[in-house]
Amino acid sequence: MPIEPVETIWVNGELVAWEDAKIHVLSHALHYGTGVFEGIRAYETERGPAVFRLTDHLERMRTSARIFLMELPYTTAQLRDAVHELIRANRLRSCYIRPLAFRGFGGEMGVNPERNPIDVVIAVWRWGRYLGDDALRRGIRATISSWRRQDPNIIPPSAKATGAYVNASMAKLEAVHAGYDEAIMLNPAGFVAEASGENVFIVRDGVLLTPPLAAGPLPGITRASIIDIAGDEGIPVAERDLTRADLYTAEEMFLVGTAAEVTPVREVDERVIGDPGPVTLALQQRFFDIVQGRDGKFSEWLDVVA
Ligand code: PMP
């Protein structure tokens, strides 16, 4: 999806003009993938732009950094203020927010990252539907990838690390080239982990099922929110290992994530699930009511930009 430039990007504590936010070609992260990042959305609400679970996202970035022995040079409160300042400076009513902390250029080359500074940037831009405008209404076609989600002892999948996304990219490329919208990745043990950039839910006998975190998905913030919303709706939820056949025979299936929001899946590898079902539609509706500030139940999830 094309990025439409805005005026400024936050770079190491300063607001820098969009076109000047550049890095050195010998930055460590560019060569070795040594960065951690987040994807966050701010929604337009009656009270102003509301960032969905901003602190939770920034805390997850700190956790990702910790796994890679990176100490973020800003507190969560400072990063939260930076996000607010940036949205105000760019006069955005809704946007996608991309914080990134990476090993920059410290004058040396080699896989040990420690001689390189930790640079932190935050960019915001206007963004529509990640999987296309029809996806939310009609659902998408997914395929089981031939690429496995990486083992936790190769690169921890619980950390949102830039380098790890080579794995997701390979799966996405394969799926798109085969004519599908999205790739579902199995873990090394053969159970469903997640999609290339979303967590997976299915419905079976009226129960909402999703792979446990031990199966190796990213601990998605939308995933956690959907589990809470389902609880509030009285929909039973269980975290359980799922096989590809569980997806092929699901009564309903959907993917969740900051970018994809709540996207129904209508088919997996030619096994037709069909139009979005009642559980999917109820959770999708409730999700949008909450993020757009129409439903006060989980109002603590909205961080309104003054
Ligand atoms: N899995 C992967 C691999 C992702 O990249 C994302 C997007 N961050 C998700 C799941 C969904 O996570 P969240 O709901 O926190 O955006």
Residue of 51, 199, 210 to test ligand 1 pocket, by largest number of atoms within 8 Å of CB: 199
Provide the pLDDT for residue 196: 98
Across 232-285, where does the E strand assignment appear?
Answer: 237-239, 252-257, 261-268, 271-272
Q: Is there a shared CATH topology between the 8-125 domain and the 133-291 domain?
A: no
Query: What would the mean pLDDT of 279-285 be, rounded to a whole number?
Result: 98
Q: Report d(CA 176, CA 235) in Å as an integer.
A: 33
d(CA 181, CA 133): 12
Reply yes or no on whether the pLDDT at 194 is more than 90. Answer: yes
Among the CATH numbers 3.40.50.620, 1.10.3720.10, 3.30.470.10, 3.30.2130.10, which is that of 8-125?
Answer: 3.30.470.10
pLDDT at 131 over 90: no
What is the arithmetic mean of pLDDT over 179-202? Answer: 98
Distance 186 CA to ligand 1 centre (A): 15
In this prediction, residue 130 has a pLDDT band, given cuts at 50, 70 and 90, of confident
Percent of the chain with pLDDT strictly greater than 70: 100
What's residue 63's pLDDT? 98
Fill in the amino acid letter for 39.
Answer: G
Q: Which amino acid is at 276?
A: P
Q: What is the pLDDT of residues 39-77, one digit of tens each?
A: 999 999 999 999 999 999 999 999 999 999 999 999 999
Please report the pLDDT score of residue 1 as a whole number.
78
Looking at every residue in the chain, the average pLDDT score rounds to 97
The pLDDT of residue 2: 86
User: Residue 17: which H helix or E strand, with range?
Assistant: strand 14-17
96 alpha carbon – ligand 1 mean position (Å): 13
Q: For residue 180, what pLDDT is reported?
A: 98
- Please give the backbone phi and psi of residue 50, each rounded to the nearest 5 degrees, phi first: -120, 120
Supply the pLDDT for residue 209.
98
Rounded to whole angstroms, the Cα distance separating 295 from 244 reads: 35
% of the chain with per-residue pLDDT over 90: 96
Ranges of each domain in the chain: 8-125, 133-291
pTM over 0.75: yes
The C-alpha atoms of residue 49 and residue 302 are separated, in whole angstroms, by 9
**Residue 168 in contact with ligand 1 by CB distance below 6 A:** yes
Average pLDDT of span 147-153: 96
pLDDT of residue 87: 98
Active site residue 160: yes
Strand partners, 48: 45
Residue nearest ligand 1's atom 5 by CA? 197
For ligand 1, the distance from its centroid to the CA atom of residue 164, given in whole angstroms, is 13
Q: Is residue 70 lining ligand 1, measured as CB closer than 6 Å?
A: no
Residue 96 has pLDDT above 90, yes or no: yes
**Residue 199: pLDDT band with limits 50, 70, 90:** very high
With 90 as the cut, is the pLDDT of residue 298 above it?
yes
Ligand 1 close to Cβ of residue 64 (< 6 A): no
Mean per-residue pLDDT, 218-232? 98
The predicted structure's pLDDT at residue 129: 85
With the most atoms of ligand 1 within 8 angstroms of its CB, the residue from 130, 145, 155, 222 to mutate is: 222
- Residue 263: helix, strand or coil by DSSP? strand
- Superfamily of 133-291 according to CATH: D-amino Acid Aminotransferase, subunit A, domain 2 (3.20.10.10)
Of 129 and 244, the structure prediction assigns the larger pLDDT to: 244
pLDDT at position 179, please? Answer: 98
